[in-house]
Amino acid sequence: MAALILLAFGLVSCDGDSGSDQVVAPGSGSPAPTFAITSDIAVLAQRPGPTAFISFLDLTGTNVSALVEISYTIAAKAGTASRPVSVTYTIESLRDRGRVSGSTVTLPVFGLYANLSNSVTVNLRFTDNSVKVATATIVTPDYAIASPFKTPSVTAMRGTSAALGFDFFLMKPNSVQAPATIIDSDGNIRWASTSLVDQAVLFRANGIDIADSSKSALNREELDGSTKTVTPSNPSFVQFHHELTQGKVGILAQPNLTGRLEDYLAELTPDGVEIRSWDFASIFEKYMRSQGDDPALFVRRGVDWFHVNSAIYDARDNSIIASSRENFIVKLDYDTGSIKWIFGDTTKYWHSFASLRAKALTLTGEGLAPIGQHSLSIAPDGELLMFNNGYASMNQPAGAAIGASRLYSAVTGFFIDPVAKTATPGITFDDNKTVHSIICSSAYISPDGSMLIQYSQAENGTILRMKGLNPERQTVFDFSYSTVFGCINSWSATIVPFANIRFSS
């Protein structure tokens, strides 16, 4: 069923400061009608988008040329607490997207609730700063995809008065090709990609970057559903895996090279051009050899010896921080690739090499060393944050130490002192040691200190669990979805700014 819209232009307002509906005509001393009053802009047509969460309004009129921007707000569904989706397009941004043609402007409306009569307010702002207001009802069909996120099992629903520093999060499928999905803090799906995903997804520049592992391609999907595919410049890329993150100037991607497994990091332009790379095998071989160790005992090309699963750019000292799930967390100089420090479980095989021990940080206090960690980030207070899975290495050489394991997972943060070579525990949230998610999973903090946690493999790999915590670490929402081992439904989830979006170019 196509989306149905009922729209009526109504209340006219003008300059937000004066509250007047008219402006004074130059030299006349008498008020002149504003563009908002005289505008004959009306809805020419409404068209359904590529998913139930997107619709298009074609607006036409003689004074379209006087428009400065168009914005809309989707009213929150009754009984929900997430902030409304609010989007602003400058007329230039719509023109750049091919949405302006003569006297007609096409407005993409995304973030709609599926299978609902959505109440939408549209504001037209003109060059004289007057605003024409429209109210709309967009009736959407059900989401046609058999998504596991349609029907969460709710342990705790966010209350309408419950404060939380984020309202939307992006779920990233793994192992099977499925849509990337944005869900609000009330458990409603609010957007889903038309492109299919296998792990690597990034919300960037008001859109979604998707690394297509099967074609070694980068897909860009805008929030209106339009897509673009680019082919990376490096022909050795055979598959993308795990994360895409924001780099220093481009996108940090984790491609497998021909004959290699998960030991290479690249920074790419949005058009797929490789502008910098960090070959972990070569970096560790060169360093260990320079210190008198035999790197062949540690670096095993063609084997999953490193397993990079997360990498971020740290602007504070122009560096890269990467998670090697099999071994440790390592910080590299961005420009030279030299090793700054290593932080991990010292009972693992890597610690038997003198060259690697020389770079190791010392964990102070009673903190939990990183074990099988995922989802690195820098917390608002500067801590290095991670989801600390607590599960030993899976692919060390025969007879080598695989390290410790815990019976629970935790979110942990550390203050790193590179001079003293120490890691001091900061944030620690272990959910009363009740949840163990041995692989995948994620934890991210919003600027106010609220936290989003995904336990991808809870309850022995049968449950995908999402928790939202306020800054006091009290549970605001707690949703669960059935899953299977391998993090198929979602291997990681990130907070996304979906409540107040502006397109200016």
Q: What is the DSSP track for 275-321?
A: EEEEEHHHHHHHHHHHTT--GGGT--TTS-SS-EEEEEEETTTTEEE
pLDDT of residue 32: 75
Name the residue with tokens 């232009």.
9
**Stretch 482-497: mean pLDDT:** 91
Residue 375 above 50 pLDDT? yes
The pLDDT of residue 44:
84
Tokens of 332: 């590299």
Rg (CA), the chain: 25
Residue 216, pLDDT score: 81
Burial state string for 231-258 with b = 16 or more CB within 10 A and e = fewer than 16: ebebeebebbbbbbbbbbebbbbbbbbe
Question: Phi/psi zone of residue 225: left (φ > 0), alpha (ψ -120 to 50 degrees), beta?
Answer: left
Confidence of residue 24 (pLDDT cuts 50, 70, 90): very low
Residue 31, pLDDT > 70, answer no
At residue 121, the pLDDT reads 95
CA gap 56, 91 in Å, rounded: 16
User: Which range is least confidently modeled, 10-24, 174-188, 191-205, 396-410?
Assistant: 10-24
What's the rounded mean pLDDT across residues 132-144? 93
* pLDDT value for 309: 98
Q: What is the pLDDT of residues 448-464, one digit of tens each?
A: 999 999 999 999 999 99
Taking the C-alpha atoms of residue 113 and residue 91, their distance in angstroms, rounded to an integer, is 26
Q: Which residues of 141-154 are buried (b: 16+ CB within 10 A; e: fewer)?
A: eebebebbbbebee
Q: Please, what's the largest Cα pairwise distance for the chain?
A: 93
The yes-or-no verdict on residue 14 having pLDDT over 60 is no
Quote the CA–CA distance of 295 and 244 in Å, as a whole number. Answer: 29
Please tell me the least confidently modeled range out of 51-60, 171-180, 229-238, 352-361. Answer: 171-180
Q: Taking Cα atoms as reference points, which of 110, 119, 112, 187 lies closest to residue 147?
A: 187
- Given a contact cutoff of 8 angstroms between Cβ atoms, the answer to whether 221 and 207 are in contact is yes
Q: Would you list the domain boundaries of the chain?
A: 4-139, 148-498
Flag the least confident range among 16-30, 109-123, 419-433. Answer: 16-30
d(CA 423, CA 383): 10
Q: pLDDT tens-digit profile of 249-261?
A: 999 999 999 999 9
Q: How far apart are CA 181 and CA 494, in angstroms?
A: 11
Q: Using CA atoms, how far apart are residues 358 and 368, in angstroms rounded to an integer? A: 21
Q: Which CATH architecture fits 148-498?
A: 6 Propeller (2.120)
Render pLDDT for 92-113 as a digit per residue (tens, 0 to 9). 999 999 999 999 999 999 999 9
pTM of the predicted model as reported, rounded to 2 decimal places? 0.93
Is residue 4 predicted with pLDDT exceeding 50?
no
What pLDDT score was predicted for residue 109? Answer: 98
C-alpha to C-alpha distance for 475 and 471, rounded to whole angstroms: 10
pLDDT score for 215: 74
Q: Reply yes or no on whether the pLDDT at 486 is more than 90.
A: no
As a whole-number percent, the residues of the chain with pLDDT over 70 amount to 94
Q: What is the pLDDT of residue 22?
A: 38
CA–CA dist 37, 471 (Å, integer): 46
Taking residues 297-305, what's their average pLDDT? Answer: 97
Give 105's Cβ-side CA count (13 Å radius).
Answer: 25
Residue 441 in tokens? 């999973």
- Arithmetic mean of pLDDT, 387-410: 97
Going by C-alpha positions, the residue among 244, 249, 286, 238 that lies closest to residue 265 is 244
Q: Would you state the pLDDT for residue 30?
A: 55
**CA 412 – CA 345 distance, rounded (Å):** 14
- Measured from the Cβ of residue 303, the count of other Cβ atoms closer than 10 Å reads 14
Q: How many residues does the chain have?
A: 505
Question: CA 121: distance to chain centroid?
Answer: 27
Architecture of domain 4-139: Sandwich (2.60)
Task: Give the chain's mean pLDDT.
Answer: 92
In the chain, the percentage of residues whose pLDDT exceeds 90 is 86
Give helix then strand counts, H and E, for the chain.
Answer: 5, 38
In angstroms, the CA 45 to CA 62 distance is: 16
Contacts of 376 (CB under 8 A, 6+ apart): 310, 311, 312, 321, 322, 323, 329, 384, 385, 386
pLDDT greater at residue 383 or residue 30: 383
437-473 exposure pattern, b = at least 16 Cβ within 10 A, e = fewer: bbbbbbbbbbeebbbbbbbbbbeebebbbbbbbbeee
Mean pLDDT of 225-236: 93
